[in-house]
Amino acid sequence: MAVKKYRGVPYHLWNPFTVMDEFLPLLGIGPVVVTRGEGPYIFNERGKRFINGMSSLWNLAIGHGREELVEAATEQMRKLAYASCFRQVHPKAIELAGKLVEITSGNFEHVFLSSNGSDAVEAALMMTRQYHRQSPDMKDHSRYKIISLRGSYHGVSYGAISTAGLESNKAKFGPLNPGFVQIEPPYCYRCPYGKSGYPECGLECAAALEKTIESEGPQTVAAFIMEPIMGVLGIIEPPEEYYNRVGEICRRHGLLFIVDEVTTGFGRTGKLFISEDWGIKPDILCLGKAISSGYLPLAATLATDEIYQRFDGEGNQFAYGSTASGHPVCAAVGLKNIDIIINEKIPENAARVGAYLKSRLKDMISRRKIIGDVRGRGLMIGIELVKDREQKVPLDKKDTFNIVVDTAILGLLVYCSDNVLGLFPPLIIDKDIADKIVEILDRSLETGIAAEIARKARLVKEFTASKLS
Ligand SMILES: Cc1ncc(COP(=O)(O)O)c(C=O)c1O
């Protein structure tokens, strides 16, 4: 097959999660080739500016171009570019672990470092099974099943995709790992249990966890894992009570409660960690993405002392890790990024600006019939689009994508999952940028013939500009 060229350079890159046949013809259009970042903005090769309303891959908490992080990386690279944490250690890994213990809920004492969210989740799953396997109570040795929310996203490792239980993954990569069981997600707008709303529903979605534990056999179940707000599925946020309910069920049945804050962590929802003040704390916490604001690959799995103690003793170890676990340059950058997040009160800003943005989007519902629901917390906001609001008929994927293209042409990048638009802007945005986001969305969500013609005209203009470059 002939290799495509981009500006004379053969294109050999195989992009992740990308339909290459659709993507390659778009090279040169809109934000597809990004060449520069500045604060909450990114720029394409023609110098066109976009509000990075997705924080790239939801990770760019403090925005682009922070010199302090560049300096932290440079200094560490000069001093010690690499050292492993396999039967060896270096100061930055020790410092980072200490910092994570200090800023989380007080429930965690031990930190396993890795390079991405999938890795943090994989470590959590492995740790869970080994933990039960090493229980002094022989009855726990048969605990291996992991219960998760159907359609959850915990990454791309076999363990992680096995949690989601998606037929599409089974078809492509199956068989998936045995021992993974799903319950329905707490998707209030489209309650999988057909209930009309909270609190009348009695949180049947949480009760489903207990029913499933019982039907699977309590002595076979090892853990329940969840995203506190499901990102990829469409910014699905349960009522606050859900967290304690499922946590309590885990405790009562001897399951570990694994909370994946890879996306919600480090201020995204307006709190440093959404689970920090839950009545029932997670046993294992997975962190990633904004831990380094994406400047370098970094992630972490935090565990309680109770879990760690099971790995104590002669010859006993957690036999897991990879070359980059606890990489010193990534750790140095992560530490500096966390300092900025805390010193500059980034979660507080996300809470304040996020509440403002959400209320402005909610106001838009009366004007734009295409909006079915606005939900989420802090700067993690979902807008579910519908063809018919009464019947909640989802907008077609293709139409949703056209809206995303239009917002990009108008200078705003948004995430989309089926018929849901996701806003995950950098946590440093102010009210003016929030207003701009609303203005662009308002124009892009305008329906009707005149709006469609205007939208197509914008596309033609963008395409012509890219051809001229
Ligand atoms: C909740 C959650 N967990 C885990 C992951 C996987 O992280 P990574 O892409 O860094 O492997 C993601 C990625 O989007 C995520 O949203």
Judged against a pLDDT cut of 70, whether residue 457 lies above it is answered with yes
Residues 381-405: tens digit of each pLDDT: 999 999 999 999 999 999 999 999 9
**Cβ 288 under 6 angstroms from ligand 1:** yes
pLDDT band for position 464 (50/70/90)?
Answer: confident
Please name each of the domains of the chain with its CATH number: 5-62+345-468 (3.90.1150.10), 69-343 (3.40.640.10)
Judged against a pLDDT cut of 80, whether residue 294 lies above it is answered with yes
Q: What is the pLDDT of residue 312?
A: 86
Residues 90-107: tens digit of each pLDDT: 999 999 999 999 999 889
**Cβ 114 under 6 angstroms from ligand 1:** no
Find the 7 Cα to ligand 1 centroid distance in Å: 32
In the chain, pLDDT over 70 holds for what percent of residues?
Answer: 99
111-125, 293-307, 309-323 — which is least confidently predicted? 309-323
> Average pLDDT over the chain, rounded to whole?
96
**Cβ 52 under 6 angstroms from ligand 1:** no
Tell me phi and psi for residue 433, to 5 degrees: -70, -40
Q: Kindly state the average pLDDT of the residues 35-54.
A: 96
3-17, 184-198, 214-228 — which is least confidently predicted? 3-17
Residues 154-196: tens digit of each pLDDT: 999 999 999 998 999 999 999 999 999 999 999 999 999 999 9
Judged against a pLDDT cut of 70, whether residue 469 lies above it is answered with no
Ligand 1 pocket mutation pick from 162, 262, 424 by most atoms within 8 angstroms of CB:
262
Q: What is the pLDDT of residue 29?
A: 86
Residue nearest to atom 3 of ligand 1 (CA): 154
Residues 306-357: tens digit of each pLDDT: 999 999 888 899 999 999 999 999 999 999 999 999 999 999 999 999 999 9
Judged against a pLDDT cut of 80, whether residue 466 lies above it is answered with no
